[in-house]
Structure 1
Amino acid sequence: MRRKKSGASPKQLSLEEWENLCKRCGLCCFEKWVEEDGTIRPTDIPCRFLDIVTRECKVYHKRFEVDEGCVKLTPDVVETVQWLPPDCAYVKRIHGHR
């Protein structure tokens, strides 16, 4: 099923439209190592709630309650964090509307 593309800016999208941008790569759910100079290095260690086969969160509906390290990826957050991969659909959408 193809997703409908919206010309709206990321902040104008509904929650459902925003979440539908996600391609379910799961890369945001892997631990990151921050070097002393601020360089962020991804690791091969997934969040304990990430199903590494399906790339889906096993506790998605309550992920913020059970994992204090889980970050809600809103447009404002995606604009400011530096640890999301450049091919992340959220990052691409944010950069495409600047």
Structure 2
Amino acid sequence: MPPFWETKSLTEMTRQEWESLCDGCAKCCLHKFIESEDTAEEDEFKPTDYIHEDEQLVYTNIACYLLNDKTCACTQYEKRTTLVPDCVKLTQDNLDDVFFMPPSCTYRRLQEGKGMPSWHPLLNKGKKSAMHKAGMSVRGKIVKDNDVYLEDYDEHIVTWPLNELD
């Protein structure tokens, strides 16, 4: 019998199935900003719900202070959107609008028809070790946002969150 992610669309999945798709890489916990020649300096780091065609999404190695940098899991998962109002709760209803998920994100990959990545915990006995070993998580690569001044964010720009293996 084929696995549920091969037989169901993202919108058909149960909540439990949906949650299990999260690979736990924590790239979504990285601070990102939109770079554009037209963006005023005072607006550069403000949250947004959209990106214009002439803009580029830029990732940093700065992660939310709630992230456990060893397990790559949120320490306050159930309360995260209250504690961090800019934290987006990815759901089946808003997946099309969440443009900032990295290319390796399993939700994004399935939506784009690319399939499950080989390092995903669901394909590795529920363990994250293959993901960490492949370098697809943030483990060992981040600093916490409460340790970095906002005006220094541009010194933390990285491209590794955009990497894909398969």
Structure 1-normalised TM-score?
Answer: 0.86
Counting only pairs closer than 5 Å after superposition, residues 1-98 of structure 1 correspond to structure 2 as 5-6=3-4, 7-36=7-36, 37-96=54-113
Runs of 4+ in 1 over 4 A off after TM superposition: none
Letter aligned with residue 16 of structure 1: Q
Range with greater deviation from structure 2 (79-88 or 52-61): 79-88
Q: Which runs of 5+ in 2 are unaligned?
A: 37-53, 115-166
> What letter corresponds to residue 29 of structure 1 in structure 2?
C
SS in 2 for 1:82: coil
Distance across 2 between alignment mates of 1:22 and 1:5: 15
Q: Distance in 2 between matches of 1:81 and 1:24?
A: 17
Alpha-carbon distance between aligned partners in 2 of 1:94 and 1:76, rounded to the nearest angstrom? 13
Tell me the TM-score normalised to structure 2 length.
0.53
Aligned mates of 1:9, 1:50 — CA distance in 2: 29
Following superposition, the deviation at residue 76 of structure 1 comes to 3.3
For 2:32 and 2:75, locate their aligned partners in 1 and report how far apart those are by CA, in whole Å: 20
- Does the aligned pair in 1 maintain the 2:30–2:62 contact within 8 Å? yes
* Distance in 2 between residues matched to 1:21 and 1:65, nearest whole Å: 23
What is the distance in 2 between the residues matched to 1:39 and 1:92? 20
Q: Which has the larger radius of gyration?
A: 2
SS in 1 for 2:112: helix
Aligned residue pair count: 94
* Structure 2 residue matching 1:31: 3-state secondary structure: strand
1:75 and 1:94 in contact (8 A); partners too = no
Structure 1 segments unaligned to the other structure (5+ residues): none
Q: 1:66 Cα shift?
A: 1.1
RMSD across aligned C-alpha pairs, in angstroms? Answer: 1.7
* Distance apart, 1:55 and its partner CA: 0.3
